[in-house]
Amino acid sequence: MALYAALLYYPEDSYWTSPEEEQFSAGYAEFGQAAGAAGVLRGGEALHPATMATTITVDGGKGGKVVTSDGPYAEAKEILGGFYVIEAADLDEATRWAAQPPAAWRGKVELRPVVPMSGGAAQS
């Protein structure tokens, strides 16, 4: 088994916390129940909008000046709205799950394989 981060991207004008998106919350509950019952859901969080983001970088290497800026790292039409951690046998199985939360048709879901860390739960 392998872990995948399913990153949920939303068009900024229909972010998941916007009122018109409320009708889709049942879809997330449904996905959470199905994926939870199947044992593939290993974690995940919903994120506040990108306008709430703070981006941090350190100037001049380790111990250098900490520079913070208001907003997300990359200004884009589509923004990261949350993520799930999915455990699946292969990319095809992970894809079937990633296609189910409403973000898949409201925006896009990016699947990123998680690097297994020795001693971590990700080892199969």
Partner 1 sequence: MAARNKAYDTMRREAVRPAKETAAGWHLPAAIPDPAEEVTEMVEPESVVRDDMLRLVFTCCHPALALDAQVALALRTLAGLDVAAIARVLMVPQATMAKRLVRARQKIAHARIPYRVPTDAELDPVLVRVTGRDCQARKGDL
Beginning with the edge strand found earlier in the chain, give each strand of the sheet holding 108-113 in spatial order: 41-46, 78-88, 2-11, 108-113
How many chain residues are in contact with partner 1, going by CB under 8 A?
A: 9
Residue from 52, 91, 99, 121 binding partner 1 (CB under 8 A): 91
Q: Which residues pair with 57 in a beta bridge?
A: 67
Residue 118 interacting with partner 1 (CB under 8 A): no
113 lines the binding site for partner 1 (CB under 8 A): yes
Of the candidate residues 5, 7, 47, 111, the single one contacting partner 1 (CB under 8 A): 111
Find the shortest distance in angstroms from Cβ 91 to partner 1.
5
Spatial CB neighbours of 104, under 8 Å, sequence gap ≥ 6: 98
Counting contacts by CB under 8 A, is residue 2 touching partner 1? Answer: yes
Q: Are 36 and 29 in contact (CB under 8 A)?
A: no
In angstroms, what is the minimal distance from the CB of 92 to partner 1? 6
Q: Does 122 bind partner 1 (CB under 8 A)?
A: no
Whole-angstrom Cα distance, residue 123 to residue 35? 20
- Which of 46, 89, 99, 121 is the binder for partner 1 (CB under 8 A)? 89
7 binds partner 1 (CB under 8 A): no
92 binds partner 1 (CB under 8 A): yes
